[in-house]
Amino acid sequence: MLDINFIRENPDMVRENIKKKFQLHKLGLVDEVLELDKRRRELQQEGDRRRADRNKLAKSIGALMREGKRDEAEAAKEASRANNDRVAEIEKESAEIEIALKKALCSIPNMIADDVPIGKDDSENVQGEVFLKAVPKPFEVPYHLDILESLNGIDLDSARRTSGNGFYYLTGDIARLHSAVLTYARDFMIDKGFTYCIPPFMIRSDVVSGVMSFEEMDGMMYKIEGEDLYLIGTSEHSMIGRFMGQTIPENSLPLTLTSYSPCFRKEKGAHGLEERGIYRIHQFEKQEMIVICKPEQSDEWYEKMWRYTVELFVSLEIPVRQLICCSGDLADLKYKSCDVEAWSPRQGKYFEVGSCSNLTDAQARRLGIRFKNEKTGRNEYAHTLNNTVVAPPRMLIAFLENHLQADGSIYIPEPLRKYMGGKDRITVKQ
């Protein structure tokens, strides 16, 4: 959510930003916000004046009564009643305007960074750095479900019976690998100085609307029937919500946190072959990193965060690249974002396994997350960032394809072996 003062002073800049995001249907929101803001200030001025008049009228009524001027006192009382009625009308209209203004402000996208490439959608994202050379396999790599089934590591049929499409059972060494990856990612981030957290997996609607746009909420979140609770789509939601309405001491910043959670997503729509199986599902688990910092720190933390994910994948011998998200592929609250993509030997191309985003103060404004600037003595909005450390099962797909051996076994890189009981490979079950 943008600062109303910024919109008031830079309306053309805000309109140009909307155009860069190819959201022309939102251009009218700028004028709507300016008109609502103008009316709000007019009502505030009139309300302040009438409340001051109310005090004056009350004093004059008392004085007129003491002086025996009953007719004049009655006229003053009538003026006071009319004034009070108008104050009530102003307060009612002001409350309605506040609601409309917040809704409009929340629909205007955050300003994007100057270095964000301009493009309509994800097809125009830009490749960044590449890490580890992607080497083709000397044999055909099967579809990831075929690999999992050959290892007796998955049961989709039972999951369809218990839960429907988009769910799965992981079993045996594959289930253990899944947990090993998450545990390794947890320890990896703790070693980077991050504080480990396990957050609530359900949050209230005021937190949901604080961390994402209305469109995202409708497309992603599962609501608990009969309660003001939603299942989280990522631990970022409840981790950022933890600081809602708080003023954080400046000397506590940056807050660097890493969190584990299951994630629940609607994942609407039909998808191609490669996005079936366990690529696009309704429930998965993830290790996330969250940073809350001062504005001048967020660009530096953005670079650190996505590089931590790259470092983790490289440590597991999986080739990855950075993909810089273009303007049209940025969610409304994002200032800039990039994906980390892993190499798929099967497809001969990269696919997304994580995403890093700098949201500047967009979430902080919605949720009221501030810090006290010790130099100025003023409370300022913090900046928030989030990044995927690792998110099985997509990461498992990359892991299985890249570490598949000619005999069908899966090689386990050294960092994971202590989490796998010392195993250096998963073998095909006979």
Check which CATH number belongs to the domain holding 231 and give it: 3.30.930.10
Verify that 19 and 160 share a domain, yes or no.
Answer: no
Verify that 24 and 173 share a domain, yes or no.
Answer: no
Q: What per-residue confidence (pLDDT) applies to 128?
A: 97
Cis peptide before 11 (omega within 30 of 0): no
Verify that 62 and 163 share a domain, yes or no.
Answer: no
Domain ends where: 61, 77, 107?
107
Q: What per-residue confidence (pLDDT) applies to 273?
A: 44
Instruction: Say if 410 falls within a structural domain.
Output: yes
Verify that 201 and 100 share a domain, yes or no.
Answer: no
Q: What per-residue confidence (pLDDT) applies to 166?
A: 87
Instruction: Say if 379 falls within a structural domain.
Output: yes
What's the CA gap between 50 and 91, in Å, rounded?
A: 11
What's the CA gap between 41 and 32, in Å, rounded?
A: 14
Instruction: Say if 244 falls within a structural domain.
Output: yes
Which residues in the chain land under pLDDT 50? 269-275
Query: Which tens digits make up the pLDDT trace of 339-395?
Result: 999 999 999 999 999 999 999 999 999 999 999 999 999 999 999 999 999 998 899
Check which CATH number belongs to the domain holding 8 and give it: 1.10.287.40
Instruction: Say if 154 falls within a structural domain.
Output: yes
Record the pTM: 0.90
Domain ends where: 107, 133, 159?
107
Q: What per-residue confidence (pLDDT) applies to 65?
A: 79
C-alpha dihedral, 129 to 132 to 134 to 139, nearest 10° = -160
Please give the structure tokens belonging to residue 235. Answer: 């631990």
Within 230-281, where are the H helices? 235-241
What's the CA gap between 193 and 256, in Å, rounded?
A: 7
What's the CA gap between 398 and 351, in Å, rounded?
A: 9
Verify that 126 and 88 share a domain, yes or no.
Answer: no
Verify that 272 and 378 share a domain, yes or no.
Answer: yes
Instruction: Say if 34 falls within a structural domain.
Output: yes
Please report the sign of the dihedral spanned by the C-alpha atoms of residue 393, residue 399, residue 405, residue 409: negative
Instruction: Say if 115 falls within a structural domain.
Output: no
- Distances in Å between the alpha carbon of 301 and those of 189, 254, 315, 360? 14, 9, 21, 11
Instruction: Say if 117 falls within a structural domain.
Output: no
Residues 396-412 as b or e (16 or more Cβ within 10 Å = b): bbbbbbbbbeeebbbeb
Verify that 82 and 141 share a domain, yes or no.
Answer: no
Instruction: Say if 112 falls within a structural domain.
Output: no
Domain ends where: 45, 80, 107?
107
Verify that 57 and 190 share a domain, yes or no.
Answer: no
Query: Which tens digits make up the pLDDT trace of 192-224?
Result: 999 999 999 999 999 999 998 767 777 788 999
Q: What per-residue confidence (pLDDT) applies to 270?
A: 42
Verify that 55 and 162 share a domain, yes or no.
Answer: no
What's the CA gap between 395 and 279, in Å, rounded?
A: 9
Verify that 174 and 268 share a domain, yes or no.
Answer: yes
Q: Which amino acid is at 68?
A: G
Verify that 86 and 168 share a domain, yes or no.
Answer: no
Range of the domain at 64: 4-107
Verify that 93 and 149 share a domain, yes or no.
Answer: no
Domain count, the chain: 2
What's the CA gap between 410 and 176, in Å, rounded?
A: 13
